[in-house]
Structure 1
Amino acid sequence: MKSTPTLPKGGGTIAHRTGGICHYVGFNDSNALEREKGITILAKTTSIRYRGVKINIIDTPGHADFGGEVERVLGMADGCLLLVDAVEGPMPQTRVVLRQALILGLAPIIVINKIDRPNARPAETVEATHDLLLELAQTPEQLGAPVLYTNGRTGTATADLRYPGTTLEPLLDTLLSSIPPPVSDLDGPLQMLVSNLDHDNHIGRLAIGRIARGILRPGQEVVRLSEDGVGPPQKIATLLTVEALERKPAEQAGAGEIVYLSGLPDVAVGDTIADANHPEPLPRLEVGEPTLRMQFSVNQSPFAGREATVSSTSRQLRARLQRELQTNIALRVVDGITADIFEVSGRGELHLSILIETMRREGFEFEVSRPAVITREVDGHRQEPVEECIIDCDTASVGMITETLGSRGAQLQMMRTDAGSGARLTYLAPTRALIGLRSLILTLTRGTGVMATRVVGWEPWRALPPRTRNGVLTSSQTGTAVAYGLSGVQERGQPFIGPGTPVYEGMIIGLNRRTGDIDVNPTKQKQKTNMRASTEDATVKLVPPRQMSLEECLDFIEDDELVEVTPKTIRMRKRILVASERIKLRKREAAV
């Protein structure tokens, strides 16, 4: 069927924020965590009209940890904008997203962005991108992808750097000419694959997807085809389409259109919505397997219940994790060894930490363990995932970074330095060697370093240099930390808390200068006497406490420790809070 102006002219898949494509797309990173971390976490759709044609645009995450988000929405697109930084060139996550898009047969358009940067290398970037296409392309047509150069700040594009652009029309014209229209069968029975879910306070759960065949109208009778089979007939309550950032009611939508529909309370990602008289399923979504797992458990600390704003019992925690599975299809949740523990697996450290932070902001409190790598057995040999890690930093930080990566057992593959743009280091390392590295790189480079990773395969399990963390300082009392007590703590090591911080027995409050854990009393008050104290004795000088992020805490703790997460506070604690019980356990383990 020929494309008409009333049908969408394909969907564009954008690996990162587009900036200047239109005024709407810059607002796509609306989630608070997305704004804070500067990354896209959730896939989103928008649309524009250009020369009488509706162009659906899908903004997808670029980070490999959120590959599940990418995999579930690529089926709604007909082409992709491969957005590459003119300075950085193709990154590991670029490869991840591009491979998935090309396997699905999407037509690529290469967009070299940020050409206004002082150290822009457009010619080298185009060459590197062509090399990537040559490696990943599935058809000869994909190798002939057109190239455009854009400046997101000014909203301009050009196909030739000799002639600077004045508008984005060259990019939009290329979209119309290079991306094929959807193959639309308006006369066949309805078929639609649910690629995403959303919630509206007024109309409830919304199923999002692109109509593969037929026409959809409000009030139409459909069936839901899930893994459990064909469901009972149901009626579509509301049908919405997207215009810019607005969802507008529609009287009907045809094949090729991306729609939002309500009236299906049990719908899940991967289900097929089909005509009630012709229940034909579409292939279900398949996503990559997780690489990391950790335990989520009910908060058992003495401060449990103080800061949570929603009920955080095992039942509520289970319900929240099960609800996450409805949209976060790369996540896995299974019951743990007790009713209060859940094993949660994800695609990477960032994937899991975003879930933890999201639940924390929703008002939940719980405890999590140190992330552990998921391994597999092949011919009786243990294997673990291996990742490529690329770090961009200033040349002054290269020495510290190479020392840090070397101490973790990472293997340097390539190093490129440039007087203007800094240095790029490429490593291969087991996934377990990279846990906690992202926040450490930011610290070493004073916030200027950029780290990107992707899983490249599996290798036999090998020994890594041992962790060299010193022992910890744990509180021996429950109460409130005071300056006098903390002065004794800082004599032993580096404190994590300041005066006025509530503490409990077994809570980790500092890092010991030596190996081995020490119990200290941060609540200790100075003994009062009748003697007048000198000014020197009365003044207690405290060093600033070390502030640690969630990711740093997850990397810091050992197997006998937990991170307590509440809406207001992140604490670290021993699994066994009472010091005498920990001593007894160590003696029993030593006797075995």
Structure 2
Amino acid sequence: MPTQTRSDVRNVAIVAHVDHGKTTLVDKMLWQTGAFGERDTVETTGERVMDSGDLEREKGITILAKNTAIHYTGPAAQDSGITINIIDTPGHADFGGEVERGLSMVDGVVLLVDASEGPLPQTRFVLRKALAARMPVILCINKVDRPDSRIEEVEDETYELFMDLLDDAEGHADQLDFPVVYASAKAGVASTVRPANGELPEGDDLEPLFRTIVETIPAPSYDDAKPLQAHVTNLDSSNFLGRLALLRVHNGQIRKGQQVTWCRADGSQQKVKITELLMTNGLEREPAEQAGPGDIIAVAGIPDITIGETLADPDNPEPLPLITVDEPAISMTIGTNTSPLAGKVRGSKVTARLVKERLDRELIGNVSLRVLPTERPDAWEVQGRGELALAILVEQMRREGYELTVGKPQVVTREVDGKVHEPVEHLTIDTPEEHLGTITQLMAARKGRMEQMTNHGTGWIRMEFKVPSRGLIGFRTQFLTDTRGTGIAHHVFDGYEPWHGEIKTRQSGSLVADRTGVATTYAMFNLQERGTMFVEPTTEVYEGMIVGENSRADDMDVNITKEKKLTNVRSSTADVLERLIPPKHLSLEESLEFCREDECVEVTPEAVRIRKVQLNANDRAKAASRARRDG
């Protein structure tokens, strides 16, 4: 039986580097196709409606791939219109597993590139995945109205990127023949005619983009003779229906109430019933009776179903291949809180059983995560794509009321031909010219190897490095300090290389509390010339807790609870307001970056504290002497 197509459906993913405007573009597409009610406004719905999580809104990044559906009835559509299923994917390299899941649901991609910044590392990553899957690509150059836009150069750079990746991915030369759309997502305007730099595209809406999607992205194809095959690409939950499996139907029909075969990841098969079938319309899931090839649906009634599994015909089950993602590059130990202040917060979750259950729940929907046992029964090694992805997991658990001890991030090594290999990142840095020497020194200390340097002639330069992943642990804070907050750095996983040797990242030591008590203004005033403080007066501290950063390279035990001796002799200089320098408050990510090998982070719903793994000073001294003797 020849392959057939469904002309009334298009499935497309919007992919790009972080902050190039994907979520904003999807927002405007929803508005212009009537996905919101007549009375809805940006004030009532909010901007970036696809970024529904609190952390996504706070950080301004997409963390989870999400899908929406719009009903296009413009000039390029048929009489009844076309349903365009859109997958909004993350742009950050640490969430690459989400990108790969998103691509498994679609038949083509819209590649968004900033008209000023041009292609960046994550652009390369997502484009490589799309070309390897032989998907058609639409290039959308966004933010063309930026005053520093350089549209023609960015178009040429993207074309060169296609040329490079087609050689690597063994793609087809016809993939070079891609349409280009010029857009300002914020203004909700697009055109196929290139505007002048810094100007808005001609036109009033996104119609040229919709038309290009309908004409370029192929309609879903299927084999009429094949039985039902639906692939689980994502998971969600409902207060009323329990776990929802999000599926792309590849062949056959699936109906509400139907009995299907659930082909599990371990190879076993089980008959199950579809109790509820939902299809997306705008931002809402609506009940449906049946779905066919190309549809993206949600089904309820299968409590343990997971990503990559298949729902198939009960009489002739044919499972689809499991979804594979790149291996994790960074790991850290997550365990129960073992500090003297553990369990002081009312309602906090502190037991090993609760922590393990939460990590197991995260594994269900996060395909790029691994959880491995350690020597301790109350701690686990959690592996992921990058520091940010693991920090986001810890922050989510903190907000849910968990208390944790989190170890310093480490790299996941592998053995190749008897030698230890470590993950390597492709790092791109954009910075003003005046910081060139500082950045070169910084990267040399972290074993970075410069691959390319470009001067755009605007006072800014772009440098590209190959650097070990562990060289980027703690890099961001120092980089922003050295460039006075003006530098932009992005990195993406680039394979494995032989171990690069020792890397010294932090030059300063720690100020460590030598006793339990309450931090006093008097003690902190006398200590602040020794370094930067992390705590405020009246903060409860304990022995082994890190209260500041030493200005010298070694650690220093300090008494931060010391009180001023009171006498009955009146002094003319007494009771003068002691002027304290405001402490430096570290976020969770900054605390993880600050850690050394013998330090860890205590995470509770109300506070994030850095501490020594060994709290007692004598125990630390014995461990250090043992390490020197053994080393």
TM-score (norm 1): 0.95
Shift of 1:379: 1.6
Q: 1:18 to 1:494 in 2, by over 3 A?
A: closer
CA contact (8 A) 2:109 2:135 kept: yes
Q: 1:182 to 1:96 in 2, by over 3 A?
A: same
Distance 1:482 1:533 in 2: 21
Distance 2:628 2:5 in 1: 74
Matches within 5 A, 1:193-212: 193-212=231-250
Distance 2:613 2:490 in 1: 33
Distance 1:180 1:503 in 2: 62
Match of 2:338 in 1: 300
Distance 2:5 2:178 in 1: 21
243, 266, 290: which one aligns with 2:328:
290
Shift of 1:455: 1.8
Match of 2:124 in 1: 95
CA contact (8 A) 1:191 1:212 kept: yes
Shift of 1:36: 2.1
What SS does the aligned partner of 1:233 have? strand
Shift of 1:186: 5.6
What SS does the aligned partner of 1:232 have? strand
CA contact (8 A) 2:94 2:385 kept: yes
Match of 1:233 in 2: 271
What SS does the aligned partner of 2:311 have? strand
Q: Which moved more, 1:521-530 or 1:395-404?
A: 395-404
Unaligned runs of 5+ in 2: 17-21, 36-46, 74-80, 196-200
Distance 1:477 1:150 in 2: 60
What SS does the aligned partner of 2:222 have? coil
Distance 2:506 2:217 in 1: 53
Measured against aligned partners, the alpha-carbon deviations of 1:522-571 in whole angstroms (never above 9, x if no partner) come to 11111121112434554322112122222222222111111111122111
Measured against aligned partners, the alpha-carbon deviations of 1:358-389 in whole angstroms (never above 9, x if no partner) come to 11111111011111111122222221111110
What SS does the aligned partner of 2:476 have? helix
99, 122, 141: which one aligns with 2:174:
141
CA contact (8 A) 1:10 1:182 kept: yes
CA contact (8 A) 1:414 1:427 kept: yes
Distance 1:171 1:246 in 2: 23
Q: 1:4 to 1:332 in 2, by over 3 A?
A: closer
Q: Which moved more, 1:261-270 or 1:384-393?
A: 384-393
What SS does the aligned partner of 1:77 have? coil
1:117 is the counterpart of 2:155:
no
Q: 1:13 to 1:209 in 2, by over 3 A?
A: farther
Shift of 1:297: 1.3
One-letter code aligned to 1:248:
E
Match of 2:555 in 1: 517
Distance 1:574 1:284 in 2: 42
Match of 1:9 in 2: 10
Q: 1:130 to 1:590 in 2, by over 3 A?
A: closer
Distance 1:202 1:141 in 2: 48
What SS does the aligned partner of 1:350 have? helix
Match of 2:455 in 1: 417
Q: Which moved more, 1:243-252 or 1:467-476?
A: 467-476
CA contact (8 A) 1:85 1:114 kept: yes
One-letter code aligned to 1:66:
F
Distance 1:262 1:548 in 2: 42
Q: 1:375 to 1:321 in 2, by over 3 A?
A: same
Matches within 5 A, 1:549-568: 549-568=587-606
Match of 1:270 in 2: 308
Q: Which moved more, 1:221-230 or 1:389-398?
A: 389-398
Distance 2:360 2:531 in 1: 42
Matches within 5 A, 1:531-570: 531-535=569-573, 538-570=576-608
23, 26, 30: which one aligns with 1:22:
30
CA contact (8 A) 1:119 1:421 kept: no
Matches within 5 A, 1:127-526: 127-137=156-166, 138-161=171-194, 164-185=202-223, 188-307=226-345, 309-418=347-456, 420=458, 422-526=460-564
Shift of 1:468: 4.8
Matches within 5 A, 1:58-77: 58-77=87-106
One-letter code aligned to 2:30:
C
Q: Which moved more, 1:460-469 or 1:174-183?
A: 460-469
Shift of 1:279: 1.8
Q: Which moved more, 1:396-405 or 1:368-377?
A: 396-405
Distance 1:131 1:518 in 2: 53
Shift of 1:128: 1.0
What SS does the aligned partner of 1:383 have? strand
CA contact (8 A) 1:4 1:53 kept: no
Measured against aligned partners, the alpha-carbon deviations of 1:87-112 in whole angstroms (never above 9, x if no partner) come to 01111101111111121121100100
One-letter code aligned to 2:406:
V
Match of 1:580 in 2: 618
102, 108, 113: which one aligns with 2:137:
108
Measured against aligned partners, the alpha-carbon deviations of 1:556-592 in whole angstroms (never above 9, x if no partner) come to 2111111111122111101111112222333344444
What SS does the aligned partner of 2:320 have? coil
CA contact (8 A) 2:6 2:221 kept: no
Measured against aligned partners, the alpha-carbon deviations of 1:456-478 in whole angstroms (never above 9, x if no partner) come to 22221122453452321111121
CA contact (8 A) 1:308 1:365 kept: no
Shift of 1:203: 1.1
Q: 1:215 to 1:124 in 2, by over 3 A?
A: same
CA contact (8 A) 2:229 2:320 kept: yes
Q: 1:558 to 1:4 in 2, by over 3 A?
A: closer
Measured against aligned partners, the alpha-carbon deviations of 1:403-457 in whole angstroms (never above 9, x if no partner) come to 3223322122223334547332211111111112234333444444322111222
Q: 1:539 to 1:94 in 2, by over 3 A?
A: same
Q: 1:72 to 1:121 in 2, by over 3 A?
A: same
1:42 is the counterpart of 2:64:
yes
Q: 1:2 to 1:394 in 2, by over 3 A?
A: same
Shift of 1:492: 2.7
CA contact (8 A) 1:13 1:77 kept: no
What SS does the aligned partner of 2:365 have? coil
Shift of 1:132: 1.4
What SS does the aligned partner of 1:87 have? coil
What SS does the aligned partner of 1:76 have? coil
CA contact (8 A) 1:93 1:454 kept: yes
CA contact (8 A) 2:334 2:381 kept: yes
Unaligned runs of 5+ in 1: none
CA contact (8 A) 2:599 2:613 kept: yes
Shift of 1:399: 4.1
CA contact (8 A) 1:112 1:148 kept: yes
One-letter code aligned to 1:101:
A
TM-score (norm 2): 0.90
Shift of 1:479: 1.9
Shift of 1:396: 4.2
Q: 1:444 to 1:243 in 2, by over 3 A?
A: farther
